[in-house]
Chains A and B, each alone.
Chain A
Amino acid sequence: MSETALGLKENATPAGRATKLVIYSLVLVVFAGPLLALLVSAFNHVSDPTQLSLVPTSPTLDNFTVAVDQGVLKYLLNSFLVVGFGLLLQVTVSVLASYALARKRFRFMSLVFVAILATLMLPEEILAIPLSIILADVPVIHVNLIGTLAGMIVPLGAWAFSILVMTEFMKDVPRELEEAARIDGAGELRIFAQIILPMCKPALGVIGVFGFTMIWDQYLLPLLVAQDSSSYTLPLALRTLRIDPIVTPGVVMAASLLALLPSVIVFLFFQRSFVHGLSSGALKG
């Protein structure tokens, strides 16, 4: 067995095993425990914050019924629309740009690349106020996107992380394939769509998974764009639910469960892509 920093052995003495068991249980309790409490409380009568617990005492589905009465399904639909169209736009824009940046050589190429990369250092929080002004009156076309889902979706198209990951990956696709297709008379679009893109599936997985979790976690942008509850995404709606005096913590937990499930499911299914992307995710600002 290879050495580790702590020199932990897989087959330790009974005492060592017991220590390990205690430590790992502690890790589980601390990090997964609160989420388990959320899960249990969503299916339990929790009329008061002190009743949050890990053991269901009075199981019920009422929390979800109330949550649905409060319009949670509409918020969930809004969230899905934003993540669906947002991700589609983000991935499309990114692969197109990456194709040019990775496979072509042209004047000002490095300038464009550096300008895009520089936005990694530009937290969206800092842009919040001017961005909301832009969205109220988009330059050139003069459309007001405030209060619309489109206002939450369109800005998602500009995400440098995806372009960076995709460009690095596309650079390594062998030239020969492209040359052969070109000799066969394939046009630019065909080379892009049928030669290069299919070779980039692992990178597509990474930008897809990261894009999904990033968009699903969005808070400030939807907060700026949404004007009333009709365009709330589910994360935004949680706060409104909590403030409503007739809504119990159990209902908030039920809505929270719906809000966390999609990203947790995506993570569990695409764990490999996620972990691969993490190290490069270290680059995003």
Chain B
Amino acid sequence: MSVEQLSPVAAPATTGAPAPRSRNGGRDGRWWIPWLFLAPAIILFALFKFIPMGNALVMSFQDVQPFLGNKWVGTGNYATMLASEGFHQAAWHTIVLAVGQTVGSMALGFALALLMEGQSRKLGFIRSAAFLPVVVPMAVVAELWRIMYHPTADGMINSIIGLVGLGPSGFINDPDASMASVIMTGIWRGAPYDMMIFMAGLAGVNRDLYEAATVDGASRWRRIVHVTLPGLRSVFTILFVLAAIRGLRVFTEVFLLTNGGPNGSTEVVMTLIYKLGLEQNRLGVGAAGAVLLFVATLVLTVFVYLLRRKENR
């Protein structure tokens, strides 16, 4: 799906196509006008995006010692990071968490979108209510779920699953259940978002195809597999990339729910970087971790982009 197709808001009523632009923005000799308008953005982006990114790169090759001066260590930080057991585990946890949250949110979001489609008037209330988790700050979500996950049998979720004979589980306090618990919280917050996007996508699927499929005697299931899913392919791709990127950089919910514990069972790359960089002051190693995370994000994005280009041909 291209940027144009995703254009967020209906364009204002245009009276015909925009006239071609004149070369110098209307007037000759006033080339600096656009730069004047751009100046605040350029300054802020430079200060808070590009310089930090450059610094992260430089720091990742240095032993960073505030007040003592930095020492070049070549690829030493990367070697330390890549060789450390802690990083391997964190990387693996991050992948599990990203995949779990992404797949879970998309599957549930798609199912919800199918259920809510076409029933707009009556369901406005339910849809809005179901969407609320998305706009609740992550910090609140985490505090709320901490309480719901209370590990004794009379904790909220434990007493609910106790009704059907399950549990009690330690959830975020049990190394075997902690990762699944963090994923579940993520799905709870992510699924309604995916639902909204899927609903927008469903509205664009050609209705005639459904009718044709029905006339041909296709079952509901076959209709979804052969008409709906192909029609939503680009929506799936976009949601997947975004959710996967969001999953890779996950920080707040892990920091607040488990802070990597118990026993390191939920330590992800970002919480590891936070601990290395800000608690242990090993800024160079932390920066190397951040650059690795960035490369992973970039590779994923480029990979999916290339895959889609091949598909579209």
Contact = CB atoms under 8 A, between A and B. Distances in A.
Given A6-B117, A27-B130, A219-B252, A278 B220 contact: no
A61 interface: no
A8 B119 contact: yes
Nearest to B48: A155
B37 A158 contact: no
Contact of B144 (A31, A253, A266): A253
Given A31-B131, A122-B53, A125-B251, 10 more contacts: A5-B210, A8-B119, A52-B148, A53-B156, A93-B41, A105-B23, A115-B45, A125-B290, A168-B3, A239-B143
Interface residues on A, range: 35 or more
A112 B38 contact: yes
Contact of B16 (A8, A27, A174): A174
A236 B255 CA distance: 12
Interface in A236-279: 236, 238-239, 242, 249, 252-253, 256, 259-260, 263-264, 266-268, 271, 273-279
A206 B135 contact: no
Interface string B123-167: 100101111110111111001111110101011100000000000
B12 A163 contact: no
Interface in B29-55: 31, 33-35, 37-38, 40-42, 44-45, 47-53, 55
B214 interface: yes
The 6 closest A-B pairs by CB, nearest first: A280-B8, A235-B139, A97-B41, A104-B25, A4-B118, A130-B52
9 contacts: A5-B117, A31-B188, A116-B41, A126-B291, A129-B278, A155-B44, A175-B18, A236-B139, A278-B200
Contact of B41 (A96, A154, A200, A242): A96
A129 B277 contact: yes
B137 A35 contact: no
A267 B251 CA distance: 24
A188 B139 CA distance: 44
Given A202-B10, A263-B136, A282-B239, A134 B196 contact: no
A99 interface: yes
B34 A104 contact: yes
Contacts of B252: 219-220
Nearest to B136: A260
Contacts of A285: 242, 245, 297
Interface in A20-40: 23-24, 27-28, 30-32, 34-35, 37-38
Nearest to B149: A49
Contacts of B25: 103-106
A70 interface: no
B7 A158 contact: no
A275 B19 contact: no
B146 A131 contact: no
A131 B10 CA distance: 36
A14 interface: no
Contacts of A200: 12
B207 interface: yes
Given A236-B139, A271-B128, A130 B53 contact: yes
Interface in B195-243: 196-197, 200, 202, 205, 207, 210-211, 214, 220, 223-224, 227-228, 238-239, 242
A165 B3 CA distance: 10
B203 to A, nearest CB: 10
Nearest to A161: B8
